[in-house]
Structure 1
Amino acid sequence: MATTARIASLRAVPKAPSRVVIYLRQSSYREESISLELQENSAREYCARKGYRIVDVIADPGVSGRAWHRRKGVQRALGAIHDKQADVIVLWRWSRLARHRLHFAVANDTVEKLGGRIESSAEPIDLDTAAGRFQRGMLGEFAAFQSDMIGEQWKDAHERRRRLGLPSNGRSRYGYVWLRPLPALASQGVVFSAPVDGGYLWLPEGDTRERYEIDPEQGEVVEWMYEEYIAGTGRPGLMRELNRLDITNNQGKPWTQHGIATVLDSGFAAGLLVNTAARYDGERQIYAPFSEYTWEQGAHEPIIDPQLFERYREIRLGRAKTPPRRINPTNPWAGLVGCGDCSLNMRRKKNSRGAGFGWLCQSKEVTGKAERRPTYVQENRLEQFVKDWLGQLAEDIGAAAESARAAQRTALKARMSADTLRAELDGIEKQLGVLRRQLVAERMSEDEYDQTRAELIAERDSIAAKLARAEQTKATEPVAQPTEIARGLLEEWNSLPLSKKREMLGKLIKRVVVTPNVLPRQPAHLHIVPTWDEDAGVDCSPYRGAGCTAAGRRWSGSPQLRRTTVNRSGRK
């Protein structure tokens, strides 16, 4: 009886309230964007009615429902269920979870397998019934349908903007002021103030023609960026110089390499609109490489000549295959110094004794065998040897060289004239394109169009004839003489930037070959292979066994010459 009485007096332990993570997402689509505050208030009221205990509130502000890989918040919310820190994820609506069919299904399935639940405060569903689960699936499908409809609307808007000669996505471009029509709410008395540093201005009421006009200060910066890149400065060098001068981007922030690449690669400053050939791999947008970019003419005025952008494009594609040290060298000898015994590139090393640098064959570093005496040369000796060679080359001036220089000056004038005419020709082609768009937009009559078009075509034919004559003169342009390059290099040796010095050395020197001396404690032999000597090679057979490998090989810039090689074990 006593035991029965004690059992009857026991009270049931109350069930612990479910732990909840509130997940909020604000859409990037303006018309469908709901404030995070409204979503959170609705979720908190729902949790209070259900008796849930809120352990965390996680938000993804301004992120598309299709961009699953960019939504760190939803990953954290699912992680809380996985780590048993929460039992339920509460949303405002089911569309906040995902707008992609696969992501929506995987998220629900993952949470259910972990023993958790996902609930909606504005669209409550009984998930314990088949009808409730069916309703959840329909809401997920509807969210994906809305996303597809939004995507189609944006696609139509982008195509319309392209037909008008505008970039597909309306935003500010560095080097230009974006003149935007006032929104429709302005007619209802809503005042829209112009941003202080946003890269755009509102047009006067009644002016609805969206356009881009050149910003004089930023335009000079853009032109400088193109010219410096063509001269040999890489994106890191441009970034450092712009930030050193406190020149900011359109958002008033310091420049990054990615930002510089975006400005230069777009070609917008040349009056072009870029097509990056983006594709979607499930959820992620993947852009094609620069080599697959295409451009079309835009309606805005160019900052730079199309020839300058074409030159940039050629150099950009060439640098894609060039090691970074060649583009932004830390010394003028990068990639030029090689071991004559094993033909490996030599590496610049700080001297262990005393100041200065030297060049050491990498073979010892690769093999780690100290018994092999490495090929080594002091950098100051290397520099003096090259300067002496340049001096001898610069003194080789005769009547033929003087005649070549005279012909070069004549051809240079012809090339400048041809470039000017080509720029005028491109300008007329652009005017013809703008003229066609104005006719399509019904901004001019057909008579005005025909008359203006006839005048432009006549001017184009005249310039084309002049250009043909200039091209004939330009065809006689001689190749820059090595003596001229050597003389200029010596005169400006101490003032030239490293990248420019490396570029000029590369036009003269194919390789500086360093061969170890057969005698101990004696300096290595140096030999320069010029770029115009196609069959030049260095026979290192007298020094085999004395240097960094057990056997040497002939180094040559010509693939026709036979090379004797050894592997790491010493076998041929």
Structure 2
Amino acid sequence: MRPAETPATFHPPPAPGGTWIAYIRVSTWREEKISDTLQRSAIDQWAAQMGARIIDYVTDLDESGRHFKRRITTCVERVERGEAAGVVVWRYSRFGRNRTGNAVWLARLEAAGGRLESATERIDARTAVGELQREMVFAFGNFESNRASEQWKETHAYRVQEQKLPATGRPRFGYIWHPRKVPDRNSVTGWRLQEERYSYHPDYVSVVEEMYERKTDDYDGFNTLAHWLNEALAIPTMRGSAWGVSSVQRYLDSGFPAGLLRIHDPECPCSYSSGKISQCVNKRMLYVPGAQPAIITPDQWRAYRAHREQTKQTAPRARKATYPLTGLLRHSRCRFHASHTSGQSKGEQVRGKWVVCSRHKHANRLDCPKGLNVAREQVEEDVKEWLRDNVTDDLDALTTTPGEEAKERSEDPRERVKRERAALQLELTRIEAAIDRLVEDNALDPTKYPGDSFARVRDKLLGRKGSLVADLNKLGKEEEETPRREDFRVVIGSLLREWKLLSEIESNALLRQMIRRVVLVDERDEEGTLLRVNVTVHPVWEPDPWEPAKVCRGPFGTALGWSPNLLWERPAEAAVEQDVDQALAAGPATLALTS
């Protein structure tokens, strides 16, 4: 057989030649930390042997191959534009360790006529055997990455579940981090192991408390807090950089200053835990108790969470109120929000003179053909009149003596649970403080406690802490109490007295505490002419009339106003038999039976 007749599989790969882009990636995985100098040297040797010319060295330092948010994508795009013949890497694992990403970006590279070459793995992927070898190399790389990922997940789970520590040990703002491994000149190895823990930072604890107070009490935005930290206090993050909106938001939402750890629900089926997506699409993030001492109280943390939920439900432009009723106005016909608009008064332009339906004016007149137009002053006066007539009079009638009020509250089961929870949380705080003092004393002077006294006392305190946490869990999740009308006595009185003295933001914040929405009801004649606009207020202490009705869609029809509690109000067997008899009696027009 002549050489020209031999299959291409047995031919040596031809010299690439041409221009190539060298891609160098240094992994975050310690076992894969091959220096960029070594990778570049191997690529230069390959180029000299193959007669290729390297036009650019693209480097990704400390980057994982499990994602493709890297500069390798720009290399492929440059090949697509015809700048180079292909991409050369030190090993194929430098290209990526993600099965899907490898297939997608390699397909784009080859579709553009480019090639992927390895400087240390001489494989001709243009042949069937060579392509199989390259796929096997990619598969082993993906396997090694998944194996390392599983080990890290186990380590992170152990830290959170057993040690009550964050999944990754690093400094946290407001705390001093005492790592497990610290330098020690007296040790033979130069290192000493200790118990990892967090303690208060004497300079930043008050700053953390004020951050939460500014957010919940003063309604400061994350941007305002970032400017305050960077400009007024000149305090950087724990990484030495300036604070930003996202960094302030992540820190406050983490719950770490409240003594909590924010983790992803292990039962959630999304790919957040594997690192394939940046946030949980199902919003299943959990807060579990941590070993770090809390800077803010549980009440402050609940107030912050309630503030965040309210902010998420408020339109961005309504979060900094321009008028007292900003974000509260709704049109009764389309149930869309109403906004303020300017108008003329005595030849001058007046801001916020009118209140109009935003859907009719800015969105869709088919859903709201008539719209709405009413003076802002009239709406505000109607709301103040509602506060005076429908609230203060009733509060006078509901006024009780201090003894009677205390008796009513003592008989309320919710108050009893609340007192028990507060007592358990107070005891839990004391136990955590005792554990911190014990560990700190032992770290400063290991010979202070003789024998196994330290371990015995520590285990005793940890056991007591576990019992308190279990008792708190038995009380169940703290339910949001339905506000009572008399709880707003002081707020309403202050608002009515100082309406003209308060700023728009302050008035809006007080109104949001007691009002769900202000509904504008337009009355029209038969021809559609606007006669008047009435104001209806939906307070927070009454059931929401606009809350969607719960619907149960089952095999025997649809039931409105259904709730799970109805399942326990009648015997299950009789209920099923009755439903089946009614459904069969209705005939095939109502019940469709399928085989």
- Verify same fold: TM over 0.5: yes
Structure 2 segments unaligned to the other structure (5+ residues): 1-14, 441-445, 472-480, 550-595
For residues 558 and 426 of structure 1, do their structure 2 counterparts lie closer, same or farther at Cα, with a shift above 3 Å needed? closer
Q: How does 1:157-236 map to 2 (within 5 A)?
A: 157-162=155-160, 163-182=162-181, 206=192, 208-231=194-217, 233=219, 235=222
Paired letter, 2:29: Y
Q: Distance in 2 between matches of 1:449 and 1:188?
A: 23
1:77: Cα distance to partner?
1.5
SS in 2 for 1:301: coil
Deviations 1:449-476 (A, max 9, x none): 77788799999999x99xxxxxxxxx9x
Maintained 8 Å contact 1:393/1:482: no
CA distance in 2, matches of 1:25, 1:505: 53
Say which of 261, 280, 288 aligns to 1:288.
280
The match for 1:299 among 276, 288, 291 is: 291
Cα distance in structure 1, aligned partners of 2:404 and 2:74: 71
Post-superposition offset of 1:67: 0.9
How far apart, in 2, do the equivalents of 1:456 and 1:272 lie? 16
Q: Could you tell me whether the CA contact under 8 Å between 2:230 and 2:242 is conserved in 1?
A: yes
Q: What secondary structure is seen at the aligned counterpart in 1 of 2:210?
A: helix
Aligned to 2:54: 54
1:347 aligns with 2:345: no
Report Cα offsets for 1:68-118 as digits up to 9, x if no partner: 2x12x1111112222222112111122111123444455445434433222
Task: State the match for 1:197 in structure 2.
Answer: none
* 1:285 partner amino acid: I
In structure 1, the partner of 2:561 is: none
Q: What SS does the corresponding residue of 1:485 show, helix, strand or coil?
A: helix
Q: Distance in 2 between matches of 1:116 and 1:242?
A: 50
Q: Which moved further from structure 2: 502-511 or 112-121?
A: 502-511
* 2:539 pairs with one of 531, 535, 549: 531
Q: Tell me the equivalent position of 2:94.
A: 96
Calculate the TM-score normalised by the size of structure 2: 0.66
Once the two structures are TM-superposed, the CA of residue 166 in structure 1 deviates from its matched residue by 1.8
In structure 1, the partner of 2:78 is 80
Distance 2:29 2:408 in 1: 57
Aligned pairs for 1:476-491 (under 5 A) are 479-491=485-497
Q: Which residue of 2 aligns with 1:546?
A: none
1:472 counterpart residue number: none
- The change in CA–CA distance for 1:500 and 1:225 in structure 2 (over 3 A counts) is farther
Deviation at 1:24, TM superposition (A): 1.4
SS of the residue aligned with 2:300?
helix
TM-score, normalised with respect to structure 1: 0.69
Residues 250 and 216 (structure 1), Cα distance of their counterparts in 2 relative to 1, 3 Å cut: same
1:428 deviates by 5.2
Q: Which amino acid aligns with 2:170?
A: R
CA offset digits 1:176-229 (Å, max 9, x no partner): 122235568988999xxxxxxxxxxxxx96353322121233322322333444
For 1:332, the equivalent position in structure 2 comes to 324
User: What is the CA-CA distance between 1:137 and the residue it aligns to?
Assistant: 3.6
**Change over 3 Å in CA distance of 1:435–1:506 after alignment to 2:** closer
How many residues end up aligned between the 2 structures? 498
- Please tell me the residue identity of whatever aligns with 2:173: Y
Closer, same or farther: CA 479–283 of 1 in aligned 2, 3 Å: closer
With over 3 angstroms needed to count, the CA separation of the structure-2 counterparts of 1:347 and 1:244, relative to structure 1, is farther
Specify the alignment match of 2:115 in structure 1. Answer: 117
**Residue 420 and residue 149 in structure 1: after superposition, are their counterparts in 2 closer, same or farther (change >3 A)?**
closer
With a CA cutoff of 8 Å and minimum separation of 6, indicate the structure with the bigger relative contact order.
Answer: 1
Residue 293 of structure 1: how far off its partner (Å): 2.3
Shift of 1:273: 2.2
- Rounded to whole Å, the distance in 1 between the matches of 2:122 and 2:359 is 70
Does the CA contact (< 8 Å) of 1:394 and 1:487 recur in 2?
A: no
Distance (whole Å) between structure 1 residues aligned to residue 24 and residue 81 of structure 2: 20
Match of 2:511 in 1: 504
Q: What corresponds to 1:245 in structure 2?
A: 232
Partner AA of 1:360 in structure 2: V
Q: CA deviation at 1:304?
A: 1.9
- Deviations 1:36-64 (CA, angstroms, capped at 9, x unpaired): 34323432343233222333322222221
Alpha-carbon offset, residue 125 of structure 1: 3.3
Superposed counterparts of 1:401-550, under 5 Å: 403=400, 421-427=423-429, 430=432, 479-493=485-499, 494-495=501-502, 498=505, 501-504=508-511, 507-508=514-515, 510-511=517-518, 513=520, 515=522, 525=533, 527-529=535-537, 531=539
Determine the C-alpha separation between the residues in 2 that align with 1:426 and 1:131: 65
Q: Distance in 2 between matches of 1:457 and 1:117?
A: 62
Distance 1:48 1:362, change over 3 A: same
Matches for 1:134-145 after TM superposition, within 5 Å:
134-145=132-143
Q: Structure 1: where are the runs of 5+ without partners?
A: 1-14, 191-203, 466-474, 537-555, 561-572
Map 1:252-267 to 2 at 5 A.
Answer: 252-267=240-255
Q: Tell me if the contact between 2:321 and 2:508 (Cα under 8 Å) persists in the aligned partners.
A: no
* Counterpart-to-counterpart distance in 1, 2:461 and 2:21: 70
Separation in 1, partners of 2:465, 2:89: 66
Deviation per CA, 1:375-420: give whole Å up to 9, x if none.
3334345445544554567874986465367866999999998776
Contact 2:329 2:338 (8 Å CA) reproduced: yes
Q: What letter matches 1:83 in structure 2? A: R
Secondary structure at the counterpart of residue 400 of structure 2? helix
SS for the counterpart of 2:252 is helix
Q: Within 5 Å, which residues of 2 pair with 1:345-424? A: 345-351=337-343, 353-357=348-352, 358-362=354-358, 364-365=360-361, 366=363, 375-387=372-384, 390=387, 396=393, 400=397, 403=400, 421-424=423-426
SS across alignment from 1:136: helix
Change in Cα spacing, 1:427 to 1:208, as seen in structure 2 (3 Å) is same
For the aligned residue pairs, the C-alpha RMSD in angstroms reads 5.1
For 2:350, the aligned partner's letter is A
